[in-house]
Structure formats: C-alpha cells, structure tokens
Chains A and B, each alone.
With several copies, the nearest count.
Chain A
Amino acid sequence: MINKEVRDIADALSGIEDGQVVMVGGFGSVGQPDALIEGLIERGARDLTIVANNAGAGRIGLAKLMEAGRVRKIICSFPRSAGSVVFEELFRAGKLELEIVPQGTLAERIRAAGAGIPGFYTATTVGTLLARGKESRVFDGRTYVLEQALHADVALVEAWRTDRMGNCIYRESGRNFNAVMAMAARTTVVQSCGMVAAGVLDSEAIVTPGIFVDRIVVVPETANARIAEAGAA
C-alpha cells in the first residue's frame, strides 16, 4: 500500500545535502512550513540556495537558517521587508547572493519547471533594471523577455490536509507558492496539519495530486504555531 507519511522531520528531510536548491513555500508566515525549516537548520546542510518569496523576518525560520550561515544564495521577490534584519546584515556584508525575481515571474518559473517548460516569455521587467542581461523578443509588436524554469532539489511545503497517497489541500491563503513548488522539485516534502484516509479529500478539490509529493510529515497546526511563537519570543 502506498504510504508517503514518514515518521519524523529528520526522515522527511533525509537526503538534503550541501549545495542543493531548496524551495520553501509560504507567503508572509501563512503556509510556511516552519517545522521543516527548523529541521533543515538542525540537519546542518550548508551552501544552500533558497527559493522563497521573502528573505525571512526576525531571527526565526528562514532568517535563522541564514543567520546560521547555511545559505549561499536566495532567489526571491521581496528580500527587504519589515524585520528582514538578518538578510540585510548578511547581504551588506557580502555573505549572501541575491537574485530578485518579480513575484509573478517567480511563480511562473517554478510552475514551468514542474510543467516541463524550460523557458517562456513575459513582458514583466521589460524596460527596467531587472531586464539587464535578459534576452528579449518581440511578439505581435510587443517586447518580452525570456525567463527560464526554476528547478529545485527539494521543496518544503505546508498543506492543510493530506492522505497517504500524497494528495494535498491547502487552507485559504496558505495555498500560495506551496502548490507550485510541490511540482518543481525532485523531492517534495509536505508538512501536513493532518492526515485523512484516502478517499476523504474531495477528488474535485484536491489541489496537489499525490504524484507531486514524496514525503509527508504531520505537524499539527498548534505545534507549528508554537514553533513560530517560540522563535519570535
């Protein structure tokens, strides 16, 4: 019987090695797999490239991972925000590479990786600093830039409910980048707020079919909230 649930966070993150590309879901703190991020810090892999919308806030989660010196590069749309103190320090000190990608391009590059599309064109960034070095092309009289698929070794995703087959649903605005990152990595690890029996999730409403998911670890909502709060304290 297929069963993608693993015993604990350490099992869920096994195989993550130095130098890998790790996608981390969430937007703001919603849908962010905090327990997996903590586990990644404990695991100790270094020289990581992180793909996420933000570059962390405070000294928890992604910021803590960066502060621990594990991140070589971050690919994100919104690095500098209220509370992005760790990012600022490291970036100013030249200890962190940064690739700024407009949010829609970031989402589409991730989806492209999942969909077997190596490159696509978008009008976003045309005529701006962020188009520097990008190839451009005209379709129907309008200029677009070429963007390439963004793949990952591992995606860390938070879902609301999952089943043993790996099917996921998300909750409200917790869906965000999680559902696209789940498609784009060689190994997709889901931090689930709860397991249900196969067949319980509505077949019409499954957002991430199990085919995209490799491992699931259950972290109840309350436990995840405690991690976030403990970090913030």
Chain B
Amino acid sequence: MIAYKSLSRKDLAARIARDIPEGWYVNLGIGIPTLVADAIPAGREVILHSENGILGFGPAPAPDAIDPWLINAGKQHVTLNPGGSFFHHADSFAIIRGGHLDLCVLGAFEVAANGDLANWATSAQDSAPAVGGAMDLAVGTPRVWVATEHTTRDGAPKLVERCAYPLTAPGVVNRVYTNLAVIDVRDGHFVVTEMVAGLTRDALQAQTGVELMFEVPEYA
C-alpha cells in the first residue's frame, strides 16, 4: 500500500480557508468548520456570521479578556471585529434563509452523491435530536461545503449513494472537504478535484460508499 498522510483537522480547516475569497460572508458550523475561522490567511477579510445574531466576529479572546455577553453559536467566547454588528434571531435567520450568506461550512454524518446532507439526527428513531440552525443554513445558503473525516471512526464511508441517516436537507451540498480529498458534487456525482499526496484513486474509492469520478491524475 502506498503511503499517504491524511490531513489533520487543523490542516483540513486551513485547506478550506484557502478557498474562501475576501469579502465572503460565511457561517461555520460546529466541529471542524469552526476551526476554519482561525485558518483564514491574515489580511484576508472574510466576515463570519453566527446564528445568535452576529456578523463580523473575530477570534477567541485572551482568557483574561473574555466578555461573557459575546459568544458564537457554538457557545464559545469570541470577539467582534471592527465593522461587526449585532441583530436579533429573526433578523439573523432572515440573513440565512434569504440567501445572503455566500457560504456555510457544515459537518456531516453522511453526504450523498446527489447532494443530500445528513448532519443532525443519528437515526430516524431518535425522537429528540437537536436540529438547531442546520436545516435553515443548509437550505438557505447558496454554497454549502461539508468538512468531515472521510470515514467514521469505524472506517465506514460517510460519502454514500444515498443517506441512511435522516436528512438535514436534500440536494444542497456543493463540495466536500475531507481529510483525504476535495470533492465536488455535480449532477448527482462526486467528482474528486484534489487528493492528499500519496493517495491513490483506488485507496480513496475503497473508503467511499459510492463510485467517485476523478478530475485529478492518478498518483504517479
């Protein structure tokens, strides 16, 4: 087996951050997506939105400078950048639902080749899953990128033909960034546009639950 090195969570976040141009308005979900905030290249203005009514929040404060009134949707203490603003929850979701964000980056339990996203409930029998703002973000944002490990801890594929978990929204995912590859969702197919060094098509396919298309050269 050819050696390859999968991305750390931090490197995955940095890989995503690279693709976010200046001036975009972005909502980052809990987990790996949250790490994207700290990975945005210095000097590039990307404006972060938080469901609980913030545009333009900045990095975590120093421990001795925590402002108890200022948290993001992940309940983490944050700061506010110059030009940031506060609004109430209905206005915050008007921004989301109205399609004003450029991008949201979400975690996932599963993503299907048709763009279906499952990231909220772990089974249809779970009658008390926490949906939060995931459905609104998935439905309202013009670009939905998923940031996830390529497989579960047990090695089961998270990129699948059809989601088995309950959907967050059908047909919304545009791109998936995993620790192994960057994969576009196009016309019902996963199209691999980038792989980590040393990874083969076969090795990636073997960890994926649906047939991949490749726009990258085979490992040479």
* A residues in contact (CB < 8 Å) with B: 1-2, 27-28, 30-31, 77-81, 87-88, 91, 98, 100-108, 110-111, 113-117, 122-130, 163-165, 167, 170-180, 183, 197-199, 201, 203-204, 206-207, 209-212, 225
Contact = CB atoms under 8 A, between A and B. Distances in A.
Given A107-B93, A165-B47, A102 B128 contact: no
A128 B49 CA distance: 25
Contacts of A128: 135, 166-170
B107 interface: no
Nearest to A117: B97
Interface stretch (B67-75, B149-157, B173-181, B199-207): B67-75
| A130, A176, A209 interface centre (most CB from chain B within 10 Å) | A209
Contacts of B75: 28
A165 B129 CA distance: 37
A110 B90 contact: yes
B52 interface: yes
B130 A163 contact: no
Interface footprint category on B: 35 or more
Given A102-B136, A127-B171, 16 more contacts: A2-B47, A30-B52, A77-B130, A78-B131, A91-B127, A102-B131, A102-B132, A103-B89, A103-B132, A104-B93, A104-B96, A107-B90, A108-B93, A114-B100, A126-B170, A199-B82
A183 B49 contact: no
Given A81-B130, A203-B80, A207-B88, A122 B69 contact: no
